[in-house]
Amino acid sequence: MNPTESNTSTPAASRRDFLRTGSAAAVGAAASALTVERSAWAAGSDEIKIGLIGCGGRGSGAASQALSTKQEGVKLYAMADAFKDRLDGARSNLSTKHPEKVDVSEDRQFVGPDGYKKVLEKCDLVILTTPPGFRPYHFKAAVEAGKNIFMEKPVAVDAPGIRTVQEYAKIAEEKNLKVVVGLQRRYQNCYLEALKQVKEQGIIGDIVAGQVYWNGGGIWFRDRLPGQSEIQYQVQNWYFFTWLCGDHINEQHIHNIDVANWFLGGHPVSAQGMGGRQQRVDKKFGQIYDHHYVEYTYANGVRINSQCRHQQGVYNAVREEFTGTKGKLYLDNAGRCYANDHKGETIWKYRPAGGGSGKRGGDPDPYQTEHDTLQAAIRDNKPINNAYYGAESTMTALLGRMATYSGKEIKWEDALASKVQHMPPVITWETEAPVKPDADGWYPISIPGQNNVPVV
């Protein structure tokens, strides 16, 4: 089975049959109380109307990929963003790139924190690419509205948000909705082949340890605009606030953490670690750390060492490696995947089927493959629900953050049961900012051993 698919098997049906019958017949009596009022595709039509919620760089990229599939009848039909300039820029760029597939009239452009509700009324397939803090609420609303979903990682910033995603992942499955999460390594050929070599061929034996890295130079920052409220400023600079981003261990390093969970077959049972701010020390940089180191322990005793940092002029790495009883496996998203025995001799090396010399040697772009797979699952009525592992890997990243913020060992069950909610249940431009600067302009920053910011 393709690892991106759920374990639920559904007989294939013709596209027309699926469009006419909706989701109830495919999932049987168990979902009868949850019948989608409106098919995730327009009934009797081959057209898929896409709604984009969150028009930043990743949202624009995801929308472009959704419009680049071979599926006929796909169009971008509605858009929403907290800020008008971002929506306008994304619409202009997408219209230039896909002039025949962008049909977003002015009455289907929605600005403000509640614009997502209007998009869900207009579309069949929704792309959720707002700051991660909003993801649980948008996912819940999309499932309740009966929409097929592409949502970016991570899927939450706190344990209550994770529990919401877990609950609605089950409801999405009962409704026969298709869900893909933007953890694209799971759609990348070299990773899929490496997993096969490890699990089926045993090339490195049993995994006994591993290291995962996202060490890079840093991230963007946006200056405060004249007349901007505190809540607007924080949403504009969402990456630097825990309630919106979950810290960069969650927003970026989740990719590598997800690979560890994937190859080990589950989540860790505990984590301990350290972190802080060494280079990115200005008060304007909100709450997040510039480095995290976490030691994750899994149920079988395997420990994965996790590193991520945003610092200039230091060692950079974005990759994963696993040590087994017979050798070591090395992975990265440029397609350089190989295994050596403990003497350093190569015992396996991934070779792209395309044989090209580009970034991935001619292999398909996994970012594109995500959307190809999602739309094919919709067309052929095949089950796919990445929300389960999306929630599990996000929770693993949050477990690591809890460990670094507190300086304590944190158990998985305690982290998942946490009642600390960073993301407010409702955000409008009139909402009071969840965190505020003090008289000197400093936002609350967790200091291990002091716990001035709630962790678990």
Compute the distance between CA of residue 214 and CA of residue 197 in angstroms, rounded to an integer.
24
Cis peptide before 132 (omega within 30 of 0): no
Q: Are residues 179 and 206 in the same domain?
A: no
Instruction: State the average pLDDT for the chain.
Output: 90
pLDDT at 360 over 70: no
Give the domain extent around 279.
187-363+394-416
- Asked whether residue 449 is assigned to any structural domain, the reply reads no
pLDDT of residue 456: 74
CATH number of the domain encompassing residue 29: 3.40.50.720
Q: Are residues 330 and 215 in the same domain?
A: yes
pLDDT in tens, 46-73: 789 999 999 999 999 999 999 999 999 9
- Asked whether residue 167 is assigned to any structural domain, the reply reads yes
pLDDT at 17 over 80: no
Sequence-distant (≥ 6) Cβ neighbours of residue 275 within 8 angstroms: 249, 289, 291, 292, 293, 404, 405, 448
pLDDT of residue 112: 96
Q: Are residues 179 and 197 in the same domain?
A: no
- Cβ atoms of 79 and 104 closer than 8 Å: yes
pLDDT bracket for residue 452 (50, 70, 90): low
Q: Are residues 299 and 378 in the same domain?
A: no
- Tokens 């896409």 correspond to 50
Q: State the number of CA atoms in the 13 A half-sphere of 419 facing the CB.
A: 0
pLDDT of residue 8: 38
pLDDT of residue 45: 55
pLDDT bracket for residue 170 (50, 70, 90): very high
- Cβ atoms of 133 and 238 closer than 8 Å: yes
Compute the distance between CA of residue 6 and CA of residue 22 in angstroms, rounded to an integer.
19
- Cβ atoms of 122 and 152 closer than 8 Å: no
Q: What is the identity of the amino acid at 374?
A: L
pLDDT in tens, 415-440: 999 999 999 999 999 999 999 999 99
pLDDT bracket for residue 362 (50, 70, 90): confident
pLDDT in tens, 242-269: 999 999 999 999 999 999 999 999 999 9
pLDDT of residue 355: 60
Q: Is beta strand 109-111 parallel, antiparallel or unpaired with respect to 125-128?
A: unpaired
Residues 289-302: b if buried by 16+ CB within 10 A, e if exposed: bbbbbbbbbbeeeb
CATH number of the domain encompassing residue 298: 3.30.360.10
pLDDT bracket for residue 359 (50, 70, 90): low
Percentage of residues in the chain having pLDDT higher than 70: 88
Compute the distance between CA of residue 326 and CA of residue 412 in angstroms, rounded to an integer.
30
Sequence-distant (≥ 6) Cβ neighbours of residue 351 within 8 angstroms: 361
Residue of higher predicted confidence among 39 and 209: 209
Q: Are residues 176 and 201 in the same domain?
A: no
pLDDT of residue 354: 66
- Asked whether residue 321 is assigned to any structural domain, the reply reads yes
pLDDT at 181 over 90: yes
pLDDT at 19 over 60: no
Structure tokens at 311: 């610092």
Q: Nearest CA to 53 among 123, 156, 100?
A: 123
Q: Are residues 274 and 322 in the same domain?
A: yes
Mean pLDDT check: name the lowest of 14-28, 104-118, 131-145, 365-379: 14-28
- Asked whether residue 181 is assigned to any structural domain, the reply reads yes
pLDDT of residue 42: 44
- Cβ atoms of 147 and 120 closer than 8 Å: yes
Q: Are residues 401 and 380 in the same domain?
A: no
- Cβ atoms of 150 and 66 closer than 8 Å: yes
- Asked whether residue 228 is assigned to any structural domain, the reply reads yes
Q: Is beta strand 125-128 parallel, antiparallel or unpaired with respect to 48-53?
A: parallel
Mean pLDDT along residues 303-314? 97
- Asked whether residue 90 is assigned to any structural domain, the reply reads yes
Q: Are residues 192 and 276 in the same domain?
A: yes
Q: Are residues 137 and 30 in the same domain?
A: yes
Structure tokens at 168: 């609605």
pLDDT in tens, 380-391: 999 999 999 999
- Asked whether residue 389 is assigned to any structural domain, the reply reads no
Mean pLDDT along residues 209-236? 96
pLDDT bracket for residue 24 (50, 70, 90): very low
Q: Are residues 358 and 373 in the same domain?
A: no
Distance of CA 83 to the CA centre of its chain: 22
What is the number of domains present in the chain? 2
Burial of 126: CB neighbours in 10 Å, binned 0-12, 13-18, 19+: buried
